[in-house]
Amino acid sequence: MDTHMEQTGGPVEQKGIYCRSCGNAISADSRFCPYCGASVNMQRPAPSYPQYNPSLYRPIVSHESTWQKARRLAAIVVAWAALLVFIEVAFNVAALLWGTSIIFPNSGYHFDIFIVTPYLVTLFEVTGWSFIIYFSFIVVAIVASFVWMTKKSWVPMIEELVGKRPKEGHGPLFAISTVFFAVLFFNIAFNFIIMAFGVDPSSSDIGEGDLWETMYSLANASVWEEIITRVMFIGIPMLLYDVVRKDRKDMKRYFLGGGFELKGIALFLLFFSAGMFGAAHLFNWDLWKVFPTFVSGMGLGYLFLRYGLYASIMMHFFVDYLAMPTYVFDSDTALVAVGLLTLVIIAAGFICFVYYSGKVLKFIFGWEIALERPVTAGVGQQTQYQGAPQRTYAPPAPYDQPQPRQGFMFVCKYCGGTEARYQDGSLTCMRCQRKN
């Protein structure tokens, strides 16, 4: 009877091991491998690999192209400029809250609530308590927009200030600021151009009235003009369009904006709302104001579609309240501070204007502006030397995977003998006389 058979004649199930030399499965009580004759306790020799030839390779190093360095430095400049603007906007929000103390006492005046057709059509007048309630809504909308922008921008701004692109994308403050910088740079450049042709681009009466009236009118424009141009000419038409198509989205998106792609009906309404926004300024300004206001409307509409109504309100507030510290303090220090901030904005605005101009050209004509195409990886990434041949090394066979048996060779698993005789369906070792 075979030692590996039970009295019933069935095979005995034993937990096997694998030979360290050839990898084949062997019995747990074996001292020698029946396939290659190696001792079970034999130490496996270290695998040999092809000799490394340093002439074929060079060290893997990080590399940053000139174009990548320029873009990173430009992003840092824009991020720090955005931080400075944020500080001024925080002051302006505080000034607006303080301004309620000088605005509310003048609630006896009559104020028009209008819509754009593009003519300015007065809906009704507010005065007294109705004005206090209405202006309270304006203040709450601006403060809430500022708080929401700050909450969503604080974490990514830390990375943006050192030139890193946040994993989740740029924050709203960075996006709003880049559009604000680009639009303001374009408006300043446009004003210089028309001044060269003898046109006076000075504003009509902004800042000439009392401080409370200036604060009210600019705050009102930042909110109400966004509602009647972005919500009325983009959000509501998109709602009607999607209802007809039976593809209505979450209702609040049409009124609060955000999350829309710049294509199809959204793109058409973006141009339409910007056109209405520009035409509405014709009546209080002049014909020269229409085109730069149209460009501003494109930026505001873009922010409404991609980020939401709070983003367009914030950018409008950025623009209208930019000079507010000079009205509040009426001092040379405030004038110099705002002037220096304006110079920073112009520098960042040039960068952002070039960037968005490239985006527009690519969107309309398919042109792609690139001063230099980097062929290496970005900052912090590793670059493989392209001229080196690719070398791959097959890992050694793992110990726990059996290899197929090649040919026939007897090796006693007890004594390592290589001679046997076949008897009763099994092989008997000639050295130790044990069955294998």
Answer whether residue 53 is part of any domain. Answer: no
Answer whether residue 423 is part of any domain. Answer: no
Domain-ending residue, one of 320, 344, 365: 365
Between helix 236-244 and helix 265-280 the angle, nearest 10°, is 150
Binning the chain into helix, strand and coil, the percentages to the nearest 5 are: 55, 5, 40
Whether residues 87 and 18 share a domain: the answer is no
Place of tokens 């006492």: 105
pLDDT of residue 130: 95
Q: What is the pLDDT of residues 370-405, one digit of tens each?
A: 543 443 444 444 444 344 444 444 444 444 444 444
Answer whether residue 411 is part of any domain. Answer: no
Sequential pLDDT tens for the chain (436 residues): 444 444 444 444 444 677 777 777 777 777 777 777 777 765 455 555 556 555 555 554 556 778 888 889 999 999 999 999 999 999 999 999 999 999 999 988 989 999 998 888 999 999 999 999 999 999 999 999 999 999 999 999 999 999 888 888 899 999 999 999 999 999 999 999 998 988 877 665 666 778 999 999 999 999 999 999 999 999 999 999 999 999 888 899 999 999 998 889 999 999 999 999 999 888 777 788 899 999 999 999 999 999 999 999 999 999 999 999 999 998 899 999 999 999 999 999 999 999 999 888 888 877 765 543 443 444 444 444 344 444 444 444 444 444 444 445 677 777 777 777 776 777 877 777 777 7
Q: Which domain holds residue 261?
A: 77-365
Query: In one letter, which amino acid is 16?
Result: G
Answer whether residue 269 is part of any domain. Answer: yes
C-alpha 80/C-alpha 92 separation (Å) is: 19
Domain-ending residue, one of 345, 365, 385: 365
Answer whether residue 377 is part of any domain. Answer: no
Whether residues 42 and 86 share a domain: the answer is no
Q: 25-26 and 17-18 as β-strands: parallel, antiparallel, unpaired?
A: antiparallel
Q: 420-423 and 426-429 as β-strands: parallel, antiparallel, unpaired?
A: antiparallel
Whether residues 31 and 144 share a domain: the answer is no
C-alpha 183/C-alpha 186 separation (Å) is: 5
Whether residues 107 and 238 share a domain: the answer is yes
Answer whether residue 409 is part of any domain. Answer: no
Domain-ending residue, one of 335, 365, 395: 365
Whether residues 22 and 149 share a domain: the answer is no
Answer whether residue 6 is part of any domain. Answer: no
Count, residues in the chain:
436
Whether residues 224 and 120 share a domain: the answer is yes
Answer whether residue 71 is part of any domain. Answer: no
Whether residues 127 and 38 share a domain: the answer is no
Beta carbons of 153 and 177 less than 8 angstroms apart: no
Whether residues 354 and 310 share a domain: the answer is yes
pLDDT of residue 308: 96
Whether residues 250 and 319 share a domain: the answer is yes
Name the helix (H) or strand (E) containing 121: strand 120-126
109 Cβ neighbours under 8 A, 6+ residues apart: 127, 131
Place of tokens 């294998």: 436
Whether residues 268 and 123 share a domain: the answer is yes
Whether residues 42 and 131 share a domain: the answer is no
C-alpha 220/C-alpha 213 separation (Å) is: 10
Q: How many domains does the chain have?
A: 2
Whether residues 31 and 112 share a domain: the answer is no
pLDDT of residue 63: 66
Q: What are phi and psi of 112, to 5 degrees?
A: -85, 135
**The token pair that represents 401 in the structure block:** 């995977």
Conformation bin of residue 258: beta by default, left when phi > 0, alpha when psi is -120 to 50: left
C-alpha 355/C-alpha 182 separation (Å) is: 9
DSSP state of 400: T
Beta carbons of 209 and 279 less than 8 angstroms apart: no
Our CA angle for 358, 362, 363, nearest 5°, is: 115
As beta bridge partners, residue 419 has: none
